[in-house]
């Protein structure tokens, strides 16, 4: 007699098998899905730098001449001995006020006095020789040639004596005009040469103050006599002095290759002194076309050389363009070269750019 098992017991293997089959099916399905799933899409969108640009402007500008110099007097003189020698005595010091004709210094005249005496003795001898030859010539004992030679010798001796006496007179220095000794360049006992400055005499009167500046040949060619100038000094920071071009050097200084320009100014109630540092701005009447850009477009400036970022024709690329700065006028920079064929430059955002970056105008 067979025992019948409970229905739950008979159904157990079937249920277990079904569960296992379902589990394997689930695992197999997950494996297939993991293999078929595509990789996550990469972010291929390129980063654009937001910038602002402005159009490059062309303006007719009269480029100013800017230079610096030292305040001096148009009546400044450098006094020296005509001949060389040992300075025996100096009668004035720096800061002394002198009158015209006043004796300032004298050389030891031992040598020049001896030269004068020698020249005078030579003249006396040549005159005796001439008289002797003249007597012989009258007696027909001397030829005409001897008489002419004796006459020439006497004339030469006379001029030699005159030169010695002239040099003796200029073995001293006298003030040529009234003024102030602003520099004493040598002392007693020193040996000086002919024409070597010993004193600087400074005479100031009305409108005698000038600033001497040196300019290039291009700036010199744009200047003319009578042009107005603006002069500023470190000693008087808040005062603008009005000046006028009064002299243009006809030739360049061989040492520097620059041309000296003299600008006369009035004190305007201020106390002037020789040697004050001054800056001069002269605006010629001639003008020409210059390129201008905002000052915020300039990057990596170094003196007159700088860079700007120029927008390329595609509208998204930039080029780092070198430029030459002529001068700065307010909030604009006047460019003398480097922006040919450039229409737009970057202003806002320029410090964050490189040539590899793409830009987007905002």
Query: Cβ(263)–Cβ(210) under 8 Å?
Result: yes
* Residue 73: predicted pLDDT: 79
8 Å CB contact between 80 and 170: no
pLDDT of residue 33 exceeding 50, the answer is no
pLDDT, mean of residues 309-335: 84
pLDDT of residue 213: 93
d(CA 324, CA 337): 5
Specify the DSSP class assigned to residue 295.
G
**Mean pLDDT across the chain:** 81
User: Is pLDDT above 80 for 232?
Assistant: yes
The average pLDDT across 211-229 equals 90
Query: How large is the greatest C-alpha to C-alpha distance in the chain, in angstroms?
Result: 204
**Domain annotation for the chain: domains and CATH numbers:** 51-61+289-361 (2.40.420.20), 66-75+204-282 (2.40.30.170), 110-170 (1.10.287)
C-alpha Rg value of the chain to the nearest Å: 47
Q: How far apart are CA 111 and CA 191, in angstroms?
A: 13
Q: Supply the pLDDT for residue 315.
A: 81
| C-alpha span between 74 and 187 (Å, rounded) | 26
Quick check: 307 and 323 in contact, CB under 8 A?
Answer: yes
pLDDT of residue 207: 61
pLDDT over threshold 50, residue 42: no
| Averaged pLDDT, 121-137 | 91
What is the percent of the chain where pLDDT is above 70? Answer: 86
pLDDT at 279 over 90: yes
Confidence of residue 103 (pLDDT cuts 50, 70, 90): very high
Tokens representing residue 104 in the block: 């300032």
Mean pLDDT of 227-234: 92
Query: For residue 236, what are its two tokens?
Result: 């008087």
Predicted TM-score (pTM) of this structure: 0.51
| Distance, CA of 246 to CA of 240 (rounded, Å) | 19
Per the model's pLDDT, the better-predicted residue between 150 and 357 turns out to be 150
Quick one: average pLDDT of 29-55? 59
Specify the higher pLDDT residue, 324 or 39.
Answer: 324
Query: Helix or strand or coil: residue 192?
Result: strand
Looking at residue 46, its pLDDT comes to 61
**CB–CB of 339/332 below 8 Å?**
no
Q: How far apart are CA 91 and CA 106, in angstroms?
A: 9
pLDDT bin (cut points 50, 70, 90) of residue 206 is: low
Query: Residue 155 has what pLDDT?
Result: 92
**pLDDT bracket for residue 162 (50, 70, 90):** very high
Q: Is the pLDDT of residue 45 over 60?
A: no
**Comparing 357 with 224, which gets the higher pLDDT?**
224
Mean pLDDT along residues 256-274: 89
Q: Higher-confidence residue: 60 or 216?
A: 216
Adjacent-strand bridge partners of 340: none
Model pLDDT for residues 5-22, shown as the tens digit of each residue:
443 443 444 433 344 344
Pick from 119, 117, 146: nearest CA to 130: 146
Residue 44 binned pLDDT confidence (cut-offs 50, 70, 90): very low
Mean pLDDT of 39-48: 54
């Amino acid at each position: 007699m067979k025992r019948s098992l409970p229905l739950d017991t008979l159904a157990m293997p079937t249920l277990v098998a079904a569960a296992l089959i379902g589990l394997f099916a689930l695992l197999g399905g997950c494996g297939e899905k993991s293999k078929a799933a595509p990789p996550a899409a990469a972010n291929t969108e390129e980063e654009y730098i937001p910038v602002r640009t402005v159009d490059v402007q062309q303006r007719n500008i009269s480029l100013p001449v800017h230079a610096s110099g030292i305040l001096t007097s148009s009546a400044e003189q450098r006094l020296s001995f005509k001949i060389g020698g040992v300075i025996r005595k100096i009668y004035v010091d720096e800061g002394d006020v002198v009158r015209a004709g006043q004796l300032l210094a004298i050389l030891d005249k031992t040598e020049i006095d001896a030269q004068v005496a020698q020249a005078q003795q030579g003249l006396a001898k040549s005159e005796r020789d001439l008289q002797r030859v003249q007597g012989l010539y009258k007696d027909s004992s001397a030829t005409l040639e001897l008489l002419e030679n004796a006459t020439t010798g006497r004339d030469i001796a006379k001029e030699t004596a005159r030169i010695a006496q002239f040099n003796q007179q200029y073995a001293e220095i006298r003030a040529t005009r009234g003024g102030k000794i602003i520099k004493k360049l040598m002392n007693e006992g020193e040996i000086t040469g002919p024409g070597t400055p010993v004193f600087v005499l400074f005479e100031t009167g009305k409108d005698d103050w000038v600033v001497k500046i040196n300019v290039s040949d291009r700036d010199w060619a744009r200047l003319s006599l009578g042009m107005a100038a603006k002069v500023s000094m470190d000693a008087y920071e808040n005062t603008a002095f009005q000046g006028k071009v009064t002299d243009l050097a006809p030739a360049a200084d061989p040492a520097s290759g620059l041309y000296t320009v003299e600008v006369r100014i009035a004190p305007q109630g201020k106390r002037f002194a020789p040697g004050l540092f001054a800056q001069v701005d002269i605006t010629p009447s001639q003008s020409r076309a210059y390129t201008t850009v905002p000052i915020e477009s300039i990057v990596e400036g170094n003196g007159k050389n700088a860079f700007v970022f120029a927008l390329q024709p595609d509208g998204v690329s930039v080029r780092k363009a070198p430029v030459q700065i002529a001068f700065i006028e307010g909030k604009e920079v006047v460019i003398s070269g480097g922006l040919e064929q450039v229409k737009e430059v970057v202003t806002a955002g320029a410090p964050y750019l490189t040539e590899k970056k793409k830009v987007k105008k905002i």
